[in-house]
Structures are given as C-alpha cells and as structure tokens.
Structure 1
Amino acid sequence: MTAPPSQRAVRGSGPAVVALGGGHGLSATLSALRLMTDRITAVVTVADDGGSSGRLREELGVLPPGDLRMALAALCDDSDWGRTWRDVLQHRFASDGALDRHAVGNLLIVALWELLGDTVEGLDWVGRLLGARGRVLPMAAVPLRIEADVVHADGSPEHVSGQVQVATTRGRIEHLRLEPADPPACPEAVEAVLSADWVVLGPGSWYTSVMPHLLVPGLRDALHRTPARTILTLNLSPESGETAGMRAEQYLDALLDHAPELRVDAVVADPGAVDDVGMLGEACERTGARLLLRQVGRGDGTPLHDPLRLAAAFRDVVEGFLGDVGTRADRVR
C-alpha cells in the first residue's frame, strides 16, 4: 500500500509549522496550532519506556507509539467521524489479562507498521483515518533511551536511565543524553524542519519530551540550518519530578546548555507562571529572543494550556515578525 499524496506532504492554508515534543504538552500545542493553520507537522519523541508503549516496545522492538498516537488524536478532523476515531484511538482496555491498559491506537499503529513495513507510512494511514489536519512523524528512526546525570540535594551524583526514571527523578538534572548516542533522524522530520516557516518547542516534560529532539544529530542540525523562526513555549508550572523547583528562565538556560547554537526567536510565557519577569526578560535578551507574556492557561487552577489563548499568543508572535526586513533565504545560516 502507498499512503495517499495528501498524507505524504502537508498542504493547506496558513504558515508551515513544525511542533516538537511529546505527550500532553505537544497535544496542547497542536490543539492551538490547528486554529491558525492547516500546515502542521508534529515531530514526536520516541523514548517512552513505560505503560502500553513500553510494553509494546519491549515485546515487539518497535518505536513506542503512545506519544505518536496522542499527537494524531490532537489533529483529528473536527467532525463526528474524526472525533469518533480519536476516541477509539485513545480508548484503553481494562481487564485482568494481557490487554489491560493497552490503548487501542497503540495496537492499531503497531499493526500498520507490521503490515506496511514502514513507520511513516503507517502513521500517515492513521492520519488519513482520522482526517488529521497535519502530519505526525517520529523524531528518530529507532527507539531511544534517555539517560541523565543527576545531583541530589545532599550533593550525591546518580546516573539515571530510562524515560520514566528520568521523569520522576528527585534530583537536579545536570546533563542529558540519548542511547544510542548518534541515532538516525527521521528523514521526513528533517525535511519538514528545513522547509518550515515556524518551529515550536514546548510546552511539556522538559527533559524527557522537549529537549531530546536537540540530541538527535540530524534533527539538531536541521534546527540550526532552517530559515524558520523558533518559538519556545514555557510550562505553566514545574513538574514534581524532573523540573521541580525550576524557574521560568531556567527552562531556557537548560535548553541552550544542551544546544548552544539553537536560535530562539520568541518565548511565550504565562505571567502567572513566572516568578521574576525581569530575570526571564534578561535571559531572553541574552539569546536575542522576544518575550511575549500572555495568559495562556485555562484559568481554572489546572496547569493546562487553553487552545484559544495559546493560538492567540502564537498569532501575536507571527504578526510581530511580519514587518521584519528579510526573506526566508536571508535567515538561512
């Protein structure tokens, strides 16, 4: 089988945007982006080793499908057809047997991979089933393992291995790396980044969903070379594990510590999630990024982004750059 042309290339109206991340953070970004453009490509982390994804990865040797499934669900067509198939993908079995907590979408995605023998083509077929407004791609062609050097409150160091372990660590993460250390990037993801108008990083689990993209050499190189402008979306609150106690400016610092050549053009932050606006402003100034403070949370006390508010913030960033002198070619390094 060959995926239909509409799934091989993202076409439609609006700017071409590539969103990088995984899990609920990437879903929030995609839910906002779909309100401003049809030309969306999600590039998704493939390092999950827990839950249904971890079990399938361990048993079948495949990419963990869970974050890919969530991104596809976020891009489903806004119709009874699209929403119904989204709910089917997200449905989890509850049983006393081997199917317990497996997501239907994970099984469907892996089944297509086995039938087609092509990861990207399988994801395109699921996108077609959902009427997805965009395309979903893995960031790498092989499953990855996240490893971190951690320092605990008493000063003792620890080496932590695995996405779940890194995400739940109680220490301060000093350095992040991937195993294998030089994984092959997904070629379609590299192409999407190089041809994008905008790249969006974050929100999400900073060390396990956002930053791993910068550790895949081919993808990192594409992020350095792309003429696209880059938006960094900060989280609404620190997580209890990997980012506990982190201030807003430290998210930017951690990112650039691991990818110092990355250009960040704009930072979107909710003022309610910023302890010291001055310090964040100084961090943005050091990197040449414009800081946009907007209420992008839902306002109900939960640390979740509101799609309408986040879409409005993205529009403000895009419109703020429209008057800049220079073409895409001028911005190529």
Structure 2
Amino acid sequence: MNKDVVSILLCPSCRANKLKLEVFDKDSYGVKEGVVKCPRCTRTYPIFDYILELLPDDLAYWEDRKIFYKRHKKRFKLEKEQQQYFDWYAKNSTQSYSDYAGSSFWRATDELIIGKWRKGIRKDSWLLDVGCAQGRSAFQFADLPISIVGFDISKNMIVEAIKRSRGRANMYFFVGDATSFPIKSESFDYVLLYGVLHHLPDPRKTVKEIIRVLKPGGTYFGLENNKTPVRIFFDFLQKLHPLWYERAGSMPLIGKRDIKGWFNGQHKISVSTHTFLPPHIVNLFSVEVAKRMLSKTDVIAKFMPDAGGLINIVMERM
C-alpha cells in the first residue's frame, strides 16, 4: 500500500475520493501498519499486517479492528483524551476558560503578540484559526475587514464560540480535527495556532497541514510554550499554585530548533521568545501595568534571545 494507490480509492462509507494515508510502521515490503483516513466522514480504515481493510462498518472484520486499535491505543487515546478534556474544560465552572483568558498575564500577552500580527493583515483576506477553542484568538481579529474560520475538536468549545460570534457576519466556526485539517489546499491567506501545537499528538504532521492550506505568500502565526531551562521556575510556581490545568500532547514544550526543523528551511520563518516573567507575578497587576512589565523585560531579555517562556512564530509560505 502506498500513496499512489490510496489516491485512487474511495471511502466505502461516504464515497469521498481524497483519502489520506498515515503510516505507523513500514519496511521493504511496504506499509505494515497504519490507517487510511477519510477527511469527509472522519472514518479510519486500518492497515493491519500489510492488509488494508477498506470495508464499511456492516462488513468490517471487527476482531481485527479491535486488535489493531488495542495495539495502537496510545495514538488514538491521546486524541480522544484531548477531545474529552477540552469538552470538560468548556463546561467546568470551577476553572472558567474566560477567567483564564481574561487574566492580566494573558490579556497583556495577547495585546502585545497579536497586536503585532494584526498590523500586516490585508483587507478581504481569509484567516483560519486552528484549535480556536471559544474564539479567544479569533476575536482579536474580528474588527478587521476579513473573513475568519475557526475549528476545534471540542464541540462544547465551538458551541461557545458560535454563541459569542452571533451578529458577526465574518466569523464561522465548526468542529474539526487539528491533526488533519478538513480544508482545501491553498485556501487561506493566514493560519493561526495560538497555543495549540503543544496539545497535539503529532505537531510535525500539523505543520505540514499548515503549509498545505496556506496560499503561496500566506502567513502562519503561532505562539507556543518555549523549551528553555528558565521554564523550571514557572513549573515550580505552577505546582505550588496552579493557575490553570491543561492536557499537553507529545511535546509540551517546543523550541526554536523544533520549529525550524519542521519547516525544513523551505519557507521564510521568524522565531523569537517573549515573556520572561511568570504569570504568577504578572497577574498581581493591572493589564496596563502587565503590558509595560512584559514589554520592558522583553527588551532586557534580548541578551538572552531563547530564554523566554513563550515562543513566537511567524512563517511566510514560499
């Protein structure tokens, strides 16, 4: 089994003709184990001991599938756990997502980082917000003359995003998977992932999706937890007094080397780090004071260019 063969196959459930091959294990004989996915109906078809079982549910070899999914439960479990976690997060009243996003630290960070991104946004362009949650980052662009599309794996998050966007004709939200974008290639001018990559089971795969859906000359904006020794200070404070709870993916921290490696040096990329003060300190002050604090520490910390708690990524697709 290979991509050339998969490209001529149809999904037996919905008859879509753009199936995707994901390889778990391969050798000189071909793909030993993996899945063929249908972006339209989201069904997965296992490749088990070199055999693709491309069958509708009523004809499937369920014993084979049971063994297959048990063998690869970590791959599928992580995606499902993330979905369940964010559904819980959207409903949980003891840790409001709005309270977290509305803290001085995050409001100041949003204004400083996203404020710079906004300056280059072109009129009548299209922006895709991947892992949009309740629309926190999408709404930072809502006043611009552009169209905004956001999706998230959590239905409960999307319910809240749609409620918040009522009355806005330029915003659209739906439930979708960030590991395989249900989006046509080269269809967006901008792609935004704001604190999303570190939640995902395979960030490298998502980076490929970012590149795929961007138009030539399009821009990707990203903000992630930076891989830095200074992070130990924040982790210590977080254990003493947790400000939020989150379920990270396979890479809770992402460094400059990771980012540049994923983009393979084929695109114009700018990477910088920010926020050298932990949220526990910044949240003691008002938003305006927090902005001044973060701005000043960013200037001072230019002498330690890779030590900030957050990594800011801007990539232009060539």
TM range (shorter): 0.3 to 0.5
TM-score normalised over the length of structure 1: 0.34
Structure with more strand by fraction: 2
Bigger Rg, structure 1 or 2? 2
Structure number with the bigger relative contact order (C-alpha 8 A, sep ≥ 6) is 1
Q: TM-score, normalised by structure 2?
A: 0.35
Quick check: which one's helix share is greater?
1
